[in-house]
């Protein structure tokens, strides 16, 4: 397995890059998609969330009311820590399981993690960062994803800086251009990815904060 980390700020185009890489043949392990799957109606994780935050966060069909949950944890460090304690281990286990499934094979596996710069992983074959001017990201989030400008700005502000993210990159994709430019850059990065060394036995593990400095 070649294991490549993929990250980028919200609105950078990371999901678009991930889809393009999948179309070239990469296997995608997507932290956000796994989180959504584990929070689908009937999943054990939802029961734990409802036990802590009340049945109000569930709709009548059992689906998670994300905005209600977000309202409870916004600006409340203790509630957010509790939510993370419930969600992160389950997502981490599922990601580890999917990586393990690929470990002995020859696939190029993409670990798609929004907060990779904040939570580094060991032994990756390489790291791709999708880079964009934050102003352009705000524009795309507002015009194409229907976010309010204020929401887009505050989400970007809460993330690590563009510079910090670029520091962990072995390859930077500049998504300041049009989709055709993005597609041609992904073609190049896909070629590069296939030249990388296979990942070691510990590849993909979370590096504990005290040793990652
Ligand atoms: P992320 O996953 O990083 O939050 P997305 O891949 O969802 O970002 O991209 C944000 C929005 O911008 C999406 O609607 C996407 O279709 C659009 N987009 C991505 N790259 C480009 C581009 N180069 N030109 C125009 N729109 C783009």
14 lines ligand 1 (CB under 6 A): yes
User: Is 183 touching ligand 1 by the criterion CB < 6 Å?
Assistant: no
Confidence of residue 208 (pLDDT cuts 50, 70, 90): confident
How many domains are there within the chain? 1
Question: Which of 9, 13, 143 is the best mutation target for the ligand 1 pocket, counting ligand atoms within 8 Å of the beta carbon and taking the most?
Answer: 13
Residue 75 is part of a domain; what is its CATH number?
Answer: 3.40.50.300
**Would you state the structure tokens that stand for residue 61, as one six-digit string?**
């069909």
Write down the pLDDT at residue 180: 98
Q: Please report the pLDDT score of residue 213 as a whole number.
A: 47
The encoded tokens of residue 43 equal 């999943």
Does a structural domain hold residue 158? yes
pLDDT, tens digit (0-9, with 9 covering 90-100), for 83-111? 999 999 999 999 999 999 999 999 999 99
Residue 211 falls within a domain, yes or no?
no
- Residue 173 burial (CB count, 10 A): 24
- The finding on whether 144 has its CB within 6 A of some atom of ligand 1 is yes
Distance separating alpha carbons of residues 119 and 208, to the nearest angstrom: 8
The answer as to whether 213 is a domain residue is no
Nearest to 202 by CA among 123, 121, 119, 102: 123
Q: Has residue 212 been placed in a domain?
A: no
Answer whether residue 28 shows pLDDT above 90.
yes
């Amino acid at each position: 397995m070649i294991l490549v980390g993929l990250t980028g700020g919200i609105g950078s185009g990371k999901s678009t890059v991930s889809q393009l890489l999948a179309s070239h043949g990469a296997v995608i392990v997507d932290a956000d998609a796994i989180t959504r799957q584990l929070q689908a109606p009937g999943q054990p994780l939802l029961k734990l969330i409802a036990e802590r935050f009340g049945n109000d966060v569930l709709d009548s069909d059992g689906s998670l009311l994300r905005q209600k949950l977000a309202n409870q944890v916004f600006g409340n460090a203790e509630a957010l820590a509790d939510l993370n304690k419930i969600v992160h281990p389950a997502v981490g286990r599922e990601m580890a399981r999917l990586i393990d499934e690929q470990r002995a094979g020859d696939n190029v596996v993409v670990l798609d993690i929004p907060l990779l710069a904040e939570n580094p992983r060991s032994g990756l074959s390489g790291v791709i960062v999708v880079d964009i001017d934050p102003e352009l990201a705000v524009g795309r989030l507002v015009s194409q994803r229907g976010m309010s400008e204020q929401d887009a700005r505050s989400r970007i502000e809460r993330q690590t800086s563009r510079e910090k993210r670029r520091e962990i990159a072995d390859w930077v994709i500049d998504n300041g251009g049009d989709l055709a430019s993005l597609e041609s850059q992904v073609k190049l990065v896909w070629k590069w990815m296939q030249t990388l060394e296979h990942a070691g036995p510990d590849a993909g593990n979370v590096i504990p904060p005290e040793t990652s400095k």
